[in-house]
Amino acid sequence: MPITPDQFDQRLADIRGRLSVQGKLVSEIAEEVFQTIFDMDTDRALELMTRDDEVDQADLEIERDAVDLLEKASHDVCPLSSQQIRALLSAVKVNNELERIADAAADIAQRVVSLGDRTSTFPKTTMVMTNSVVGILRNSVRCFADTDAARAKQVLRSEGTVLEFYDVIVQKSEERIADGRLGVQHAFDLHSIIHQVVVMADHCTNIAEQVIYESTGAIVRHTNAGWVEHILDSDLSDDDA
């Protein structure tokens, strides 16, 4: 039997629901990985590295089902609105962003394991930075689940704070290297970790961009002047129809 628009929506809702579960899992992994940094818990970090496999498996299954749904709708010439198409495209892209966030978390866990039983600690600002990214990640998952463009814009505005934390930590670590309070290898490890934290925040903003695209049809891009929204002509014509 050919697929109908209602059946398309039902299958899309299932994909989105699984993505929400995926987002919560990735958030939990990220939060626990960050904690291993400060607890110096190499055993827990090693365990968390293996959880990336759960995310990878779910990523593959969601990608497969999304492609199958699009193929089915195309084959059956199912009449879809631009919003339905945007919603499916956004789900595929968000799926990919969550997988990359999990990869970044696994990279941090690997770094914690390689550090071993270190005696030196990281700056307190590092914990503030990681806590901020946990909040941003949760917000990005929630705004996707609710298709909440307003919350998505909050996520976009939060990225600047993360970058400010990064700059402060780098500057302070360079000062500590110069006066002998911080070893070069320790500083390298610190920079590697906070770089991955920034990467995670960047993927969160990508999720937020997709939420705005899905709900409004606007493509959001970052410029020197800030975040700018571009409305596609096709979406304008749909609204006017």
Annotated domain spans of the chain: 5-235
CA torsion sign for 47, 35, 201, 216 is: positive
Contact present, 211 and 152 (Cβ < 8 Å): yes
Q: Of how many residues is the chain composed? A: 241
Q: Tens of pLDDT along 10-23?
A: 999 999 999 999 99
Q: How does residue 236 score in pLDDT terms, banded at 50, 70 and 90? A: very low
Convert 4-68 into a string of H (helix), E (strand) and C (coil): CHHHHHHHHHHHHHHHHHHHHHHHHHHHHHHHHHHHCCHHHHHHHHHHHHHHHHHHHHHHHHHHH
Instruction: Please tell me whether residue 222 adopts helix, strand or coil conformation.
Output: strand
Give dist(CA 114, CA 118) in Å, integer. Answer: 10
Instruction: Supply the mean pLDDT for the chain.
Output: 89
Instruction: Report which of 82, 212, 198, 83 is spatially closest to residue 140, judged by C-alpha positions.
Output: 212
Specify the CATH number of the domain 5-235.
Answer: 1.20.58.220
Helical H runs in the chain?
5-39, 42-75, 82-115, 124-146, 149-178, 184-216, 233-240
Give dist(CA 21, CA 15) in Å, integer. Answer: 10
Q: Tens of pLDDT along 180-197?
A: 887 888 888 899 999 999
Instruction: Report which of 72, 64, 104 is spatially closest to residue 203, judged by C-alpha positions.
Output: 104
Average pLDDT value for residue range 195-215:
95
Using the predicted structure, report yes or no on whether residue 241 has a pLDDT greater than 60: no
